[in-house]
Amino acid sequence: MNSLWKKTPQLDHINQISKRTASENMGIQFTEIGPDFLRATMPVDHRTVQPAGLLHGGASVLLAETLGSVASLFCREDESTLPVGVEINANHLRPARNGLVTGIVSPLHIGRSIHVWEIRITNSSGQLCCISRLTVTLVRQVAANPSS
Protein backbone atom coordinates (compact mmCIF):
# COMPACT_ATOMS: atom_id res chain seq x y z
CA MET A 1 0.00 0.00 0.00
CA ASN A 2 1.39 3.41 -0.96
CA SER A 3 1.58 6.06 1.70
CA LEU A 4 1.19 9.81 1.39
CA TRP A 5 3.79 10.45 4.06
CA LYS A 6 7.38 11.39 3.16
CA LYS A 7 8.30 11.15 6.85
CA THR A 8 6.24 8.67 8.85
CA PRO A 9 4.14 10.48 11.46
CA GLN A 10 3.95 9.06 14.99
CA LEU A 11 1.04 9.84 17.32
CA ASP A 12 3.26 10.42 20.36
CA HIS A 13 5.41 12.88 18.39
CA ILE A 14 2.43 14.79 16.97
CA ASN A 15 0.77 15.10 20.37
CA GLN A 16 4.10 16.16 21.90
CA ILE A 17 4.70 18.98 19.37
CA SER A 18 1.15 20.17 20.06
CA LYS A 19 2.00 20.96 23.69
CA ARG A 20 1.73 24.65 24.64
CA THR A 21 -0.22 25.47 21.46
CA ALA A 22 -3.81 26.33 20.61
CA SER A 23 -4.35 22.61 19.97
CA GLU A 24 -3.54 21.74 23.56
CA ASN A 25 -5.69 24.61 24.86
CA MET A 26 -8.66 23.26 22.88
CA GLY A 27 -8.09 19.66 23.98
CA ILE A 28 -7.22 18.35 20.51
CA GLN A 29 -5.71 14.86 20.54
CA PHE A 30 -4.38 13.07 17.47
CA THR A 31 -5.71 9.51 17.58
CA GLU A 32 -5.01 7.71 14.31
CA ILE A 33 -2.66 7.75 11.35
CA GLY A 34 -3.56 6.01 8.11
CA PRO A 35 -1.72 5.74 4.80
CA ASP A 36 -3.43 8.92 3.55
CA PHE A 37 -5.20 10.49 6.54
CA LEU A 38 -4.84 11.76 10.10
CA ARG A 39 -7.60 11.67 12.70
CA ALA A 40 -7.97 13.84 15.80
CA THR A 41 -10.65 14.51 18.39
CA MET A 42 -11.70 17.65 20.20
CA PRO A 43 -14.06 17.87 23.19
CA VAL A 44 -17.24 19.87 23.02
CA ASP A 45 -16.87 21.64 26.36
CA HIS A 46 -16.35 25.07 27.94
CA ARG A 47 -13.24 25.63 25.76
CA THR A 48 -14.96 24.98 22.44
CA VAL A 49 -18.59 26.13 22.70
CA GLN A 50 -20.24 29.46 22.05
CA PRO A 51 -22.59 31.08 24.62
CA ALA A 52 -25.62 29.04 23.47
CA GLY A 53 -23.74 25.83 24.32
CA LEU A 54 -23.13 24.72 20.72
CA LEU A 55 -19.74 23.88 19.25
CA HIS A 56 -18.22 27.18 18.13
CA GLY A 57 -17.60 27.39 14.38
CA GLY A 58 -14.19 28.88 15.06
CA ALA A 59 -13.27 25.84 17.14
CA SER A 60 -14.19 23.59 14.21
CA VAL A 61 -12.01 25.72 11.92
CA LEU A 62 -9.13 25.52 14.41
CA LEU A 63 -9.43 21.72 14.42
CA ALA A 64 -9.52 21.68 10.62
CA GLU A 65 -6.48 23.92 10.20
CA THR A 66 -4.57 21.97 12.83
CA LEU A 67 -5.21 18.69 11.04
CA GLY A 68 -4.23 20.04 7.62
CA SER A 69 -1.14 21.88 8.80
CA VAL A 70 0.16 18.88 10.74
CA ALA A 71 -0.53 16.57 7.78
CA SER A 72 1.49 18.93 5.56
CA LEU A 73 4.47 18.60 7.92
CA PHE A 74 4.73 14.92 7.06
CA CYS A 75 4.22 15.00 3.29
CA ARG A 76 6.48 17.89 2.27
CA GLU A 77 9.33 17.19 -0.12
CA ASP A 78 11.73 19.62 1.56
CA GLU A 79 12.03 19.69 5.35
CA SER A 80 13.49 23.21 5.24
CA THR A 81 9.96 24.46 4.49
CA LEU A 82 7.13 25.12 6.93
CA PRO A 83 3.42 24.67 6.16
CA VAL A 84 1.37 27.85 6.47
CA GLY A 85 -2.39 27.95 5.95
CA VAL A 86 -3.32 30.55 3.34
CA GLU A 87 -7.03 29.86 2.85
CA ILE A 88 -9.66 27.91 4.73
CA ASN A 89 -13.38 27.56 4.33
CA ALA A 90 -15.88 25.67 6.41
CA ASN A 91 -19.51 24.70 6.04
CA HIS A 92 -21.13 24.12 9.42
CA LEU A 93 -23.84 21.54 8.78
CA ARG A 94 -25.04 20.28 12.14
CA PRO A 95 -24.56 21.46 15.72
CA ALA A 96 -22.68 19.50 18.38
CA ARG A 97 -23.61 20.06 22.03
CA ASN A 98 -21.45 17.58 23.95
CA GLY A 99 -19.05 14.68 23.71
CA LEU A 100 -16.22 14.67 21.20
CA VAL A 101 -16.03 15.73 17.60
CA THR A 102 -13.66 13.86 15.32
CA GLY A 103 -11.83 15.37 12.38
CA ILE A 104 -10.28 13.41 9.53
CA VAL A 105 -7.98 15.11 7.04
CA SER A 106 -7.28 13.71 3.59
CA PRO A 107 -5.48 15.23 0.60
CA LEU A 108 -7.11 16.77 -2.44
CA HIS A 109 -3.79 17.94 -3.93
CA ILE A 110 -0.20 17.49 -2.77
CA GLY A 111 2.32 19.53 -4.76
CA ARG A 112 5.82 20.71 -3.98
CA SER A 113 4.67 24.11 -2.70
CA ILE A 114 0.88 23.86 -2.30
CA HIS A 115 -1.22 21.30 -0.44
CA VAL A 116 -5.03 21.26 -0.46
CA TRP A 117 -6.81 19.25 2.23
CA GLU A 118 -10.37 18.18 2.94
CA ILE A 119 -11.33 17.92 6.61
CA ARG A 120 -14.55 16.19 7.68
CA ILE A 121 -15.69 16.75 11.27
CA THR A 122 -18.29 14.43 12.76
CA ASN A 123 -20.11 14.34 16.10
CA SER A 124 -20.16 11.45 18.59
CA SER A 125 -22.91 9.78 16.55
CA GLY A 126 -20.84 9.91 13.37
CA GLN A 127 -22.96 12.63 11.76
CA LEU A 128 -21.17 15.21 9.63
CA CYS A 129 -21.05 18.55 11.50
CA CYS A 130 -18.56 20.47 9.37
CA ILE A 131 -16.70 20.07 6.13
CA SER A 132 -13.70 22.24 5.47
CA ARG A 133 -11.08 22.79 2.79
CA LEU A 134 -7.64 24.12 3.68
CA THR A 135 -4.95 25.39 1.33
CA VAL A 136 -1.42 25.29 2.72
CA THR A 137 1.66 26.83 1.17
CA LEU A 138 5.13 25.63 2.06
CA VAL A 139 7.44 28.54 2.87
CA ARG A 140 11.18 28.50 3.34
CA GLN A 141 12.33 28.86 6.92
CA VAL A 142 14.50 31.91 7.31
CA ALA A 143 17.21 31.91 9.93
CA ALA A 144 16.87 34.68 12.48
CA ASN A 145 19.27 37.54 11.87
CA PRO A 146 21.00 38.26 15.20
CA SER A 147 21.85 41.82 14.11
CA SER A 148 18.17 42.73 13.61
Query: Which domains are delineated in the chain?
Result: 11-140 (3.10.129.10)
pTM of the model: 0.92
- Judge contact between 83 and 113, C-beta under 8 A: no
Which candidate in 65, 77, 87, 118 is catalytic? Answer: 65
Looking at this protein, which amino acid is placed at residue 10? Answer: Q
Burial degree of 118 (CB within 10 A; 0-12, 13-18, 19+): middle
Residue 46 has pLDDT above 80, yes or no: yes
79 is catalytic: no
- Sheet architecture: strand order including 29-33: 29-33, 38-43, 100-110, 114-122, 128-140, 81-92
Taking only the tens place, the pLDDT of each residue in 62-108 is 999 999 999 999 999 888 999 999 999 999 999 999 999 999 999 99
CA 138/CA 130 separation, integer angstroms? 25
